[in-house]
Amino acid sequence: MLLDGKALSNKIKDEIKSKTKNYLIKPTLAVIQIGNDEASNIYIRTKAKACEYVGINFIHTKFEEEALEQEIINKIIELNNDPYVNGILIQLPIPSKFNQYKLLNLINKDKDVDGLTNINMGMLFKGNNNLIPCTPNGIIKLLEEYNIDLKGKHAVVVGRSNLVGKPLSMLLLQKDATVTICHSKTEHLDYFTKQADILISAVGKKDLITKEMVKENAVVIDVGMNRVDGKLYGDVNYDEIKDIASYITPVPGGVGPMTVAMLLYNVLRNYEKNL
Ligand code: NAP
């Protein structure tokens, strides 16, 4: 069965829209872009469109790669202090000459709608969640929507990034799954994936997960986004696995739309907290 992230994200967006239309002052999301990464331009346009649809103001500040670090710091401080700004994110990746770690951690933890500051990550680690990274949160919401119980289930997460793999593993643990985390140095990846009741791949390699690696009736979540000859593919060989899995996310139309919906959700959550 298909886990339809697009349908659920549309439902969440419509719920947000129905709330914002009652607000005289609209919630506001501020996006900081540094440099001119092509994929970032596309993601920012997608976020701007989604904000427009649900009635969230969108402020986009773009710095040239030659910008001074201090200019960016000043902007983050200004947005932190602006009571009308409910969410701030730095579109990643940023040029390597900038200290991403330092800049991210300047964002006020209650406006950090990507959930990537040390404080929010630490709170997630301790089970005292504040703002949660959007992709992992979207995956949990999708599993909940289809009443997929995680308690006692073996969840295998392939990928250990701070953006997806690690925070997702913490959320799965909070849901009482037994969690295994695999990465590029894992030996015999298929040994682990074959044990998974819930298999999540967040790597960025087309066809990494083939049918020999998946247990019958597993739930398969494909986070990967790999563009080949202008077409988008996940990490999972969907055609091979769709008849083995009990549930599977398509690419596109699975995890991607949920990520954007959770961003809007985080902005609205902060706005409503301050009403
Ligand atoms: P990342 O930071 O590059 O992390 C990739 C992870 O995969 C790393 O932990 C790496 O291991 C691991 N890995 C690499 N090759 C592997 C292999 N052969 N076997 C097992 N593990 C391997 O990427 P990310 O930011 O987490 O993103 C992962 C993918 O998800 C990308 O395709 C990205 O575009 C996509 N993504 C999608 C969404 C969405 O909304 N759908 C959101 C975010 C990301 P090491 O740690 O050992 O290097």
**Which residue shows structure tokens 């894992």?**
186
Question: What's the rounded Cα separation, in Å, for the pair 27 and 253?
Answer: 26
Is the pTM higher than 0.95? The answer reads yes
129 has a pLDDT exceeding 90: yes
What are the structural domains, with CATH classification, of the chain?
25-108 (3.40.50.10860), 134-255 (3.40.50.720)
Ligand 1 site-directed mutation target among 40, 164, 264, most atoms within 8 Å of CB: 164
Instruction: Tell me if residue 114 is catalytic.
Output: yes
Query: CB of 252 closer than 6 A to ligand 1?
Result: no
Ligand 1 site-directed mutation target among 132, 201, 223, 249, most atoms within 8 Å of CB: 223
Cα-to-centroid distance, 72 and ligand 1 (Å): 27
Question: What's the rounded Cα separation, in Å, for the pair 163 and 158?
Answer: 13
Query: CB of 158 closer than 6 A to ligand 1?
Result: yes
Query: CB of 249 closer than 6 A to ligand 1?
Result: no
**Per-residue pLDDT tens over the stretch 5-30:** 999 999 999 999 999 999 999 999 99
Question: What's the rounded Cα separation, in Å, for the pair 69 and 74?
Answer: 9
Mean pLDDT value across the chain: 98
pLDDT of residue 268: 98
- In three-state secondary structure terms, 136 is helix
Which of the residues 91, 111, 112, 235 is marked catalytic?
Answer: 91
pLDDT of residue 235: 98
Instruction: Tell me if residue 195 is catalytic.
Output: no
Q: Which residues contact 108 (CB under 8 A, 6 or more apart)?
A: 80, 88
